[in-house]
Structure 1
């Protein structure tokens, strides 16, 4: 599957067309290509400000959003790279708090693509090389780097000495890549996922994790031991009880923190991981006041986001979520527990429809199936006998009865990006 991208800037689009023409590295695992590309850029990954490196199946993006908000609340200038983008490719490269502008992006991509032309890099390898190159050139105090896929062989894992590493919630996703047959790796699927994510562990660096079952925890600890990392496990090295507030404690003491502004009970767990990462690193001082401000100010589009009044949704109560795996389905079901809603769903053909329809169908007053633009998608029948096909989200939304029930649009971050574009809510 390719990461498609478009731009209103002709100069940027010319480079995005080059990116889109890159081959997909099916069957190629390893960091050799990204390291070779970075070497041609004078190894920018070795000249970055302190890096917060975050992996996970669900919640890694939200954890990055909390980290950025907390660090910025302390007054630090923060570089950040996330994936995928929702509307504009520029979202993948944030420089000292601001999305990279079109002119600089066009020049940067051209530079990296020209230098790596004979290496056959992937879309994501070019993106990470470009981000790291610019992070080394533009002054800032800290970098927040989100893993793209897995961890062990992810392009971001070219990093050699981050300030701290974190692993968010774990679950099944990207099985084709992360469960590919290999010797001397765990054979239980979730333990293999944990093994891959914990591949970001680095010598002497704290590896801060959520709480997992025994087998997954062992896989994480095995990777930490191989790397010489210093694990900091939730439930052993740090604790967070979530109720009407977050009661956090570790060896440094206790914090009683407000619940975050991001919607959903799972976001308190993501916020707690961000707090733990901040408190298990020594590169930057971050006050309790900045942590509190970051909890209130963090934004992360398309993760249980209530859409604003706009050209697509009008005045309706419409929620948007890009989750597409069983963990995401469980989180959505928990949010809408006991509440009826209309579901508009679009999922990539390589995802499991039951991941969402299983936990959500009982509360869905109707199910409308839509395509995911520029991708292969599941037809309506994949979502059950009552699902009705529509050509796009506007037509599906127009068919929803005016019965006062909320609408949930879910199933794909690519679909979510299209919804944000149509409603005029561009991530900034």
Structure 2
């Protein structure tokens, strides 16, 4: 059972209940079902405004947030689909700049479920078919689409060169091993090369592919895939550069001075740079340097090193600063460790298919106390998985109330689902 959120609209709730009964992904990924479903819906994915398509293990959502902010700063009307949602399923559908309304969401999901009869579609296939159907129906200037899982066999990868403006690959790491490292003939054997192969599967002939630097094995694989499909490749440090400290940005079209991003952490300068490089590598949607700068400053992406505001949850620890991050894999753990300083009280909720050391090892001796909480609606690790120093709490409220009386800050992390629960409890509903 997954937490789809709750709706006061009975028609929406009925669709959320149907979604909750589906598998998140198929046991074997593939594009046949989503292509058949989209065909029944009139092939909306072939009638979209220009699309920016973003893959990656970490940072792809932030990159999408920067893209949206930069495009809107230029005055464009933007459709966006990202995953997962934090509090409300509606967050996955930003239609012409606004989250989809409940009434239309209910109608849309009913239409897609009817068309999917007999196909055995997954949760994500239904969601993406709904997003593309609405993107094709409602006028807009441009779309931003985040890959769900992998790239090569992800439901979003039905997008064809005719609608694509640019593709991007954010930071890579080991995650979703069951799917992305499953044995298969003719694919790379080394894990990071295989991950890169899967993510680079979004590359299309003639469409600019822009990538961050991810180590020699991954970079070589991205380069090989791009060459095979004849996608013009623009790699960090080779073709464009963004300085994590100064904000200096440069590519073959010129230089920019990017401000400190609104999103916390030095890694966000790279994500902002990736978004800028994607915009500047393509010609279908003109974007000025001024709009790129404005977008860096205005982008918002909840649940990523987000300092919680005053609310019911933070009121439980009025003497402490509470930061929230959905990071759950070793790469995200490294990024969090580099982005915060000093000791922290760590509250973790982590799905039981994730590595319980992903956050603890990078943070090392900076963990002042460790409390493990469940994730509502999901199978999560118990405190035992985190070692003898971990203590259990029944929920976030109990975890916060039982922290030591000191002024050390708090980090809540380990899952985007837990991040969503924290935002809900604190009354910070993403809009």
Could you tell me which runs of 5 or more consecutive residues in structure 2 were left unpaired when the two chains were aligned. none
1:93-128 Cα distance to aligned partner (Å, 9 max, x none): 000100000000000000000110111100000000
Tell me if the contact between 1:241 and 1:247 (Cα under 8 Å) persists in the aligned partners: yes
Q: 2:224 corresponds to which residue? A: 222
2:172 to 170, 192, 203: 170
Q: Partners of 2:153 and 2:2 in 1: how far apart?
A: 18
**The residue matched to 2:310 in structure 1 has which SS?**
coil
Partner of 2:41: 41
Secondary structure of 1:117 counterpart: coil
Shift of 1:2: 5.5
CA distance in 1, matches of 2:177, 2:22: 22
Measure how far apart 1:331 and its partner are.
Answer: 1.1
User: In 2, are the aligned partners of 1:342 and 1:367 still within 8 Å (CA)?
Assistant: yes
Q: Deviations over 1:228-283 (max 9, x none)?
A: 2111111111112221x211111101112112111011111111100100101111
2:221, 2:141 → 1: CA distance?
A: 33
Q: Distance in 1 between matches of 2:141 and 2:76?
A: 6
Q: Distance in 2 between matches of 1:346 and 1:394?
A: 13
Q: Return the TM-score normalized by structure 1.
A: 0.97
1:65/1:299 contact within 8 Å kept? yes
Aligned pair count reads 426
Specify the SS of the correspondent of 2:8. coil
Residues 320-399 of structure 1 mapped to structure 2, 5 A cutoff: 320-337=324-341, 339-399=342-402
CA shift for structure 1 position 39 = 0.5
Structure 1 residue 168: Cα displacement: 0.2
Could you tell me which residue of structure 2 aligns to residue 246 of structure 1?
Answer: 247
* TM-score, normalisation: structure 2: 0.97
1:26 Cα deviation after fit: 4.2
* 2: CA distance, partners of 1:15 / 1:123: 11
* Contact 1:167-1:209 at 8 Å conserved across structures: yes
Task: Say whether residues 1:83 and 2:83 are aligned partners.
Answer: yes
Report deviation, 1:5. 4.3
Task: Determine if contact 2:28/2:179 at 8 Å carries over to the other structure.
Answer: no
Change (3 A) 1:9 1:361: farther
User: 2:256 is matched with which residue?
Assistant: 255
8 Å CA contact retained: 1:38, 1:45: yes
| Offset at residue 7 of structure 1 (A) | 2.6
The answer on whether the counterparts of 1:4 and 1:374 sit within 8 Å (CA) in structure 2 is no
> In structure 1, the residue corresponding to 2:86 is in which secondary structure?
coil
The corresponding residue for 1:236 is: 238
Distance 1:210 1:263 in 2: 19
Map of 1:270 onto structure 2: 271
Distance across 2 between alignment mates of 1:50 and 1:189 = 33
Task: Provide the residue aligned with 2:114 in structure 1.
Answer: 114
